Chain A
Amino acid sequence: MKPGSIVLVALTGLIWGVTAMVVIGVTLTLVTGDVALPQASAAGLAGLISALVLVWRQSAGHAGAMADRGLSAAILFVVVMVVSFAAPFGLSLGQHTLWQGLGLVLFVAGVAGANAICLDGAQLGAMSRYEREVVYIRIAKGIGFVVFSIIVALPFYVMIMTSLKSQQALLANPLDLSIDVSQGISGLFRSYVELFTQFNFGRYLMVSAFVSVATVVLTLLFSVPGAYAVSRLRFPGQAFLARSVLLIYMVPAIVLVIPLYAVFSQLGLRNTLTGLLIVYPATTIPVALYMLQGYFRGLPSELEEAGLMDGLSRIGVILKITLPLSLPALASVSLYVFMIAWNEFLFAFMFLDDPDIFTLSRGVVSLNSSEVPRQHLMAGAVIATVPVLFIFLWFERFLVQGLTAGSVKG
């Protein structure tokens, strides 16, 4: 028995008990809408005792690992119930019995499992620095998984759930993020229906799609020849050009906004999609050119030389050899540019005044007023997000390539 080891094991149990209880308690609150008061100290104590029991059995050299884990889980359950007076979530067991039961099962399984994984091989006797660090790292990683999943998923969960609520339900209890099935499908998607019927979101969606696709096409038209020239042809100033492209896309949009606003206003381009379709490609061409030239450089030049030998012109070589070979790169560039154009906010916000040609970003911003209820704003956010996330998940491989190659831009 080493005090240091005992403290480490106890701490592990304590951390997992408290973490699991807080996470499950908060989830329970959000799912049921009734405020749970997770009994963190009871859970911490239970986790601590069960961790000590687990490691004590482990150190004693018992072979029946499953039995040890069962014993530890049982102790966990008993202690948490006794110390919290049979109300681990601060709710009497009669309320939401099913959810509470599920929460309790998750709590016991989660803490017991986490303890077992983290303390695998731990002893109450002396532990080497290596063994102790393994335990630290397991705890840190476990906490990391929990924290990262929550901070990433929670806002999206809130976004979707808020968009499905009614105004009264939101005001009555902002904690209730459950799906209220009783209002039926039409009630559930009321905000979406209203956005499409009264707020013209169908049109915004079309405009956004048109602008993004047109930006992709224009960008490719400009950047493919440019990238080919930079990567394959020899000419004075090639190296300088390849490098200066990188500098161009560090120029912030906000610096360009005032002159462009002034000039476009005088030319009558400001409140038009043409104006946007001039600005968007200009901001994406450098990125696209940079990504494509990197890829073109990686293609074996022998293929192209063979094509040239066989009497193809340069343009023929590009169309028949280079482009078919670089389809994956073209796909990632297109997706990346599409994403930039779809998500673009600043120029759409500054240039567009006419609701007939709003892009989605601009349309959602117009929902951010005190006269429009919150669930409409969130529904608008969902509408703007879903196509991008869908494309992202569908083409994740290409897009991740695009991100790593081009996301020197942010």
Chain B
Amino acid sequence: MQRREMWLAYLMLAPTFAIILIIVAGPLLANFWISVKPVQLADLRPPTVLVNERVRGRPKAPGDEARLEYRLRNSSQDEEIRDVTLSDVVPEGFTVISHSESCSLNGAKMTCDLGTVAPGWRGDVKLVGTVSEAFLAAHRPERASEPVITGEANNVLTNFDFTFENFSRIFSADEFWSVLRITFYYTIFGTGGALVLGLFAAQLLNTSFPGRGVLRGLFLFPYVSPVIAVAFTWVVLFDPFSGTLNALLTKMGVVTDPINFFGQRAIEFSFLGIPMEFPLALTTVIAFEAWRYFPLSFLFILARMQSINTDMYEAAEMDGATPLQQFWYLSLPQLMGILSVLFLLRFIWTFNKFDDIFLLTGGNAGTRTLTVDVYEQGFALSNLGAGAAVAVVVFVVLVTFATLFIRFSPKEEGL
């Protein structure tokens, strides 16, 4: 019974395991592999021999001589291809007289063995023969069958060329450290902002009044809406030329020139004579993050607050505790557990966030975080290896957080 139960359990978990291993764990390891390989985006298309088939000799009448030519080319300029073979079916009505030495004919089927071809190689295979009525009548008879090419080339993903250039490149770039700093600003303030907003919103809805359900539903909108919708709405709303907000600010005379919220890296000002910079785009992006994710902390905090025993507040009321004292000395300690769990989880998730910044600023104007850098290196700069190297950095930082999270998460919150 015990054994059967065990095997049943493993059987039931097997599909889940298989897909998670293939799609999550596999790529995680593959990242380490790719990060030490000189892979460009273009290398994903493996080198092949390209073939172009045509009829030469302009046969006019049945019995005329014609040539069937296959022009071949190695698509790669720096990789050789081994064991190249070409096979095709000779078109109907074409009687072969002679053919290239590398080829052999078996009935209508032709196979050519071309061996190893050098990088950038060009060559051709010729068949000489006579044509029949049917051949002349058909429209492009050579197209009746596609020539098939096989061959083996080094796949840059699976060979054993290693390089540390990806890592040395990303670590030596000046911007890497600023990317790291921006990531932490974004993560800390985004998480904190969402938590504070959520705590405040939960306080508002913790008393019952008519319309509370509607407000609760409304407050969850930013979180449940698709990120593309809300991100583009923010972009339109804050647009410096046609955005509502800037139009409002300029027309009402609050500011003289429109503010480019998502495009301006910093506003310079001086405080007590010291020149300072206010990172504008980063702040706007952080505000978006807080706005979009406060509903989540709001939901958790509200649920926790409603489970707090009200006797305590009545007793405190008796003893003359003021509302702020009640909040500070009773509510907040009760909420500390859920707040810290939320902080840790949101911290990790904000750190992981890619979509929001990518859609809002594309990582420009001083908002490039590590996750956006993965995309930037891997796809915008087409250097998959460097992108994977940044992804490895992301993963290492994440594992550090997760370890801390498991060490310090309060057990009683049930996560």
Residues of A within 8 A of B (CB): 26, 29-30, 35, 37-38, 129-130, 133-134, 136-137, 141, 144-145, 148-149, 151-156, 158-159, 162, 170-171, 173-175, 177, 221-223, 225-226, 228-230, 233-236, 238, 241, 246-248, 250-263, 265-266, 278-279, 281-283, 285-286, 289, 314, 339, 342-343, 345-346, 350, 360-361, 364-365, 368, 374, 377-378, 381-382, 384-385, 388-389, 392-393, 396, 399-400, 403-404, 407-410
B201 & A148 in contact (Cβ 8 Å cutoff)? yes
A256 & B27 in contact (Cβ 8 Å cutoff)? yes
Task: Using known A-B contacts A158-B233, A259-B31, determine if residue A278 contacts B9 with beta carbons closer than 8 Å.
Answer: no
- Asked whether any CB of chain A lies closer than 8 Å to the CB of B188, the reply is no
B324 & A384 in contact (Cβ 8 Å cutoff)? no
The distance from the CB of A306 to the nearest CB of chain B, in whole angstroms, is: 17
- Offer 30 A-B interface pairs, CB within 8 angstroms, sorted by A: A29-B248, A133-B323, A137-B324, A152-B221, A153-B218, A162-B236, A177-B244, A228-B12, A234-B2, A234-B5, A234-B6, A252-B394, A255-B27, A256-B27, A256-B28, A257-B375, A259-B31, A266-B44, A285-B16, A289-B16, A343-B226, A343-B228, A345-B227, A365-B359, A381-B228, A385-B229, A393-B217, A404-B300, A407-B296, A410-B345
Nearest residue (CB) in A for B326 is A133
Tell me the bound Cα distance from A256 to B392 in angstroms.
10
Of the listed stretches B17-25, B66-74, B116-124, chain A binds B17-25
- Asked whether any CB of chain A lies closer than 8 Å to the CB of B94, the reply is no
- Which of B15, B244, B359 gathers most chain A CB within 10 Å? B244
Residues of A within 8 A of B246 (CB): 174
Tell me the bound Cα distance from A225 to B243 in angstroms.
51
Tell me the bound Cα distance from A285 to B9 in angstroms.
17
Residues of B within 8 A of A252 (CB): 351-352, 354, 371, 394, 398
Please count how many residues in chain B sit with their CB below 8 Å of the partner chain's CB atoms.
Answer: 95
The distance from the CB of A338 to the nearest CB of chain B, in whole angstroms, is: 11
A282 in complex: contacting residue of B24, B237, B299, CB < 8 Å: B24
Residues of B within 8 A of A236 (CB): 6
B15 & A225 in contact (Cβ 8 Å cutoff)? yes
A174 & B229 in contact (Cβ 8 Å cutoff)? no
Residues of B within 8 A of A130 (CB): 320, 322-323
A254 & B374 in contact (Cβ 8 Å cutoff)? yes
Residues of B within 8 A of A399 (CB): 224
Task: Using known A-B contacts A225-B15, A378-B233, determine if residue A149 contacts B218 with beta carbons closer than 8 Å.
Answer: yes
Task: Using known A-B contacts A266-B44, A345-B226, A410-B296, determine if residue A175 contacts B247 with beta carbons closer than 8 Å.
Answer: yes
Residues of A within 8 A of B366 (CB): none
Tell me the bound Cα distance from A49 to B78 in angstroms.
84
Residues of A within 8 A of B395 (CB): 251, 255
Tell me the bound Cα distance from A114 to B405 in angstroms.
44
- Restricting to B175-192, which residues have a CB under 8 Å from any CB of A? none
Q: With A152-B218, A252-B371 given, name 14 new contacts (CB 8 A).
A: A144-B200, A148-B201, A175-B244, A225-B15, A226-B16, A257-B374, A262-B44, A285-B20, A374-B236, A378-B236, A381-B226, A389-B224, A400-B220, A410-B346
B337-365 CB contact bits vs A (8 Å, 1 = yes)? 00000000110111111110001000000
Tell me the bound Cα distance from A222 to B375 in angstroms.
31
Task: Using known A-B contacts A254-B391, A256-B27, determine if residue A361 contacts B228 with beta carbons closer than 8 Å.
Answer: yes
Tell me the bound Cα distance from A393 to B218 in angstroms.
9
- Asked whether any CB of chain A lies closer than 8 Å to the CB of B97, the reply is no
B227 & A258 in contact (Cβ 8 Å cutoff)? no
Nearest residue (CB) in A for B321 is A130
Tell me the bound Cα distance from A283 to B227 in angstroms.
17
Tell me the bound Cα distance from A141 to B26 in angstroms.
50
B348 in complex: contacting residue of A230, A250, A263, A283, CB < 8 Å: A250
B203-223 CB contact bits vs A (8 Å, 1 = yes)? 110000000000101111111
Residues of A within 8 A of B236 (CB): 158-159, 162, 374, 377-378
Task: Using known A-B contacts A250-B348, A252-B398, A342-B226, determine if residue A155 contacts B234 with beta carbons closer than 8 Å.
Answer: yes
A381 & B415 in contact (Cβ 8 Å cutoff)? no
